Structure 1
């Protein structure tokens, strides 16, 4: 039961930034997005990946690695589009 709950929690937190990423990709607009928040979140989920590796917990590793990918992509798009509408 613990693994199921952990996996569901990991999936939900990992996909939480997908709607934001999709919106940024579609609208090419990041004015209301905080790059600082993305960096802090990216740092946190990266540390979760390290923790998951240290504990050998695949659900933690996979879900947070996906979150790293999403947030890193969002950060890249932030810097790509930040001056577009200035």
Structure 2
């Protein structure tokens, strides 16, 4: 793997790993009071477009990272929409 691909792979890994704590906390507590629905909606759309971009370029670091981030982001967005009425009352 050349230097440029190494940078891309490390960047993709770090930005994807950054979503794990938020996704885990969201699924565990169901408390999404501090999560902006508009921000996650736009973010999820942006991640999806990055995924399409990576597919069109056949760039695996972009594809894998954004596929994982897209799933995590969709899960948080789903929880935010589903639990918007109970976001101030976390489940045990």
| TM-score over 0.5 (shorter chain) | yes
Q: TM-score, normalised by structure 2?
A: 0.85
1:27 Cα deviation after fit: 1.6
Q: Take 1:53 and 1:21, find their aligned partners in 2: how far apart are those partners?
A: 24
Instruction: List gaps (5 residues or longer) in structure 2.
Output: none
1:29 aligns with 31
> 2:22 is matched with which residue?
20
Q: Which residue of 2 aligns with 1:57?
A: 59
Name 1:41's counterpart in structure 2: 43
Query: RMSD value over aligned CA atoms?
Result: 1.3
Structure 1 segments, 4+ long, off by >3 Å, are none
Aligned with 1:42: secondary structure? helix
After TM superposition, give the deviation of residue 20 of structure 1 in Å. Answer: 1.2
Number of residue pairs matched?
86
Distance in structure 2 (CA, Å) of the matches to 1:47 and 1:28: 27
| Cα offset, 1:43, TM superposition | 1.0
Superposition TM-score, scaled by structure 1 size: 0.90
Write the deviation string for residues 22-50 of structure 1: whole angstroms up to 9, x where unpaired.
11122221111101111111111111111
- Unmatched tracts of structure 1, length 5 or more: none
